[in-house]
Amino acid sequence: MLAALGKLPLFAGELPNRGYNTRSLQAIDYGGNPVPQGNGWSALDLGRLLAALYNLKSYHPEYTKAVDQIVLDWSYLRVVRDGILSSATVTKDQAGRTLTRVNPETRLGYEEYAARAFQLWGFDVEGSAVGGEYQTALVEGVKVPTQRQRTDTNSQVNQYTVSNPFLLYGLEFGLDPKMRSLFEPVFQAQAERYRRSGTLTASATTLIDRKPYTIHSAITGKGEPWVALGDDGQAVPQARIVSTAVAFAYHALYPDNQYSQKLFPATTDLYNPLTGFYEGFYETTGKTAIGFTGSTNSMILQSLLYTVMNRQPLIRPTAMKSPWWEAVAQGDSGRGLPRIPKSTAKLITDSNGSYWISSNENLRVSQQ
């Protein structure tokens, strides 16, 4: 896998494309079609990859040199700008010319997760890290976050609130006080809906084997509570799904909570011994939502591992002597490496548990 990552043709010689053919390593679009010029990069995908590679070094330091060589081949000049994360998309103008647009990332929860991952490697992305002011919507009497209040962009793309990124953040980085202030209302709204209506709720983005294939079972989306949306933003009201992965993850993070204890056993039998766990079941019919994905089964595995590890964040610090930090210490390489050879996040333990925070946070303030 590491050898393949090292061979990937990079978009504009900078960063990995959004998708590749796993056999040829050619860049492809989301329909699986070759795109020789590439299709841009996702800061969110890169954040997931950087978190995974960092953790690989933590648990298997023998791969440190190979991992660092991969990420040292990338250029970060455009993905990290002015303390925020940006992604690139490729479009064509009326004359058929290819245009690359680089815009700030704005997807709630995912941006905060990716920023924490970039901080592991020393990047200054405080503008994308969890914190600041968030817009909210009242759902089941709970103020649920909908998007960050920001001045860097007016983008309204994909503004819906689902559980996935908050759960990944909690399992991997721990629930620091700032993230907990977002995480708890997201969970509480779902629990309150169940208390009010008796409808088990585990809102998530899931993938199924029929159109529209991607279902965002949102807590709030497009200004409405409890909507189900396709990737095109169109409502699919009969397609709301109770996510298996979300049920496992909430149970891991909140094992003593009455609602997580109710939700968890409703999904544990959605299992095929040959292929793994199904995506979940439909709220309206109770029928199984057919689909087997790495995203669902990996979150289930993470949830089980989190429990076995005595509910400690899955991501642990790595050694600071490595090719990456040596390159950073040498100064400006022209590729946008961090300015200072140390992580801009740190793992702490206090009365609230163990969690990562930004290195420049005042600990006393973060605990208020």
368 pLDDT band, cuts 50/70/90, is very low
What SS3 class is residue 130? coil
Query: Regarding beta strands 280-282 and 241-243, do their DSSP bridges make them parallel or antiparallel, or are they unpaired?
Result: antiparallel
Helices (H), the chain: 2-7, 43-59, 64-72, 110-120, 164-173, 177-197, 244-253, 258-263, 294-308, 323-329, 363-366
Q: Which letter does DSSP use for residue 129 in this model? A: S
Residues of the chain with pLDDT > 90, as a percent, come to 90
Question: Two tokens at 146?
Answer: 């909908």
With beta carbons less than 8 A apart as the criterion, state whether 137 and 153 touch: no
If one counts every other C-beta atom within 10 angstroms of the C-beta of residue 157, the result is 10
β-strand pairing of 224-225 with 241-243: unpaired
Tokens of 360: 């420049």
120/233 Cα distance (integer angstroms): 33
Q: SS3 for 338? A: coil
CB 85 within 8 A of CB 65: no
- The neighbouring-strand residues paired with 221 are 160, 224
Asked if residue 91 has pLDDT above 70, the reply is yes
Return the domain boundaries, the chain.
2-366
pLDDT in tens, 267-315: 999 999 999 999 999 999 999 999 999 999 999 999 999 999 999 999 9
Statement: residue 365 has pLDDT above 60: no
Answer for the pair 169, 300: CB distance below 8 angstroms, yes or no. no
Q: Say if CB 359 and CB 345 are below 8 A apart.
A: yes
| Average of per-residue pLDDT across 340-347 | 96
Helix (H, G, I), strand (E, B) or coil at 243: strand
Beta-bridge partners for 354 = 349
How high does pLDDT run on average in the chain?
Answer: 94
> Max CA-CA distance within the chain?
60
What are 205's two structure tokens?
A: 């983005």
Residue 214 predicted with pLDDT over 50? yes
Strands 84-92 and 80-81: antiparallel
- Condensed to tens digits (0 to 9), the pLDDT of residues 7-44 reads 999 999 999 999 999 999 999 998 899 999 999 999 99
Round to whole Å and give the CA distance between 53 and 253: 23
Residue 362 has pLDDT above 70, yes or no: no
Of the candidates 219, 221, 92, the one whose C-alpha atom is nearest the C-alpha of residue 166 is 219
The whole-number pLDDT of residue 364 equals: 42
Q: According to the model, what pLDDT value does residue 157 have?
A: 59
Contact 37, 99 (CB under 8 A): no
Comparing 158 with 365, the larger pLDDT belongs to 158
146/108 Cα distance (integer angstroms):
7
State residue 163 phi and psi, 5-degree precision. -80, -30
User: In the predicted model, what is the mean pLDDT of residues 207-229?
Assistant: 95
Q: What are phi and psi of 183, to 5 degrees?
A: -65, -45
The predicted-structure confidence for 149-206, as pLDDT tens digits, reads as follows: 987 766 655 579 999 999 999 999 999 999 999 999 999 999 999 999 999 999 999 9
Using CA atoms, how far apart are residues 10 and 37, in angstroms rounded to an integer? 10
- For the domain spanning 2-366, the CATH number is 1.50.10
Pair 313, 173: CB distance under 8 Å? yes
Instruction: Please give the C-alpha separations between residue 5 and each of 21, 25, 196, 345, 351, in angstroms, as whole numbers.
Output: 12, 9, 48, 25, 40
Q: Is the peptide bond before 177 cis (omega within 30 degrees of 0)?
A: no
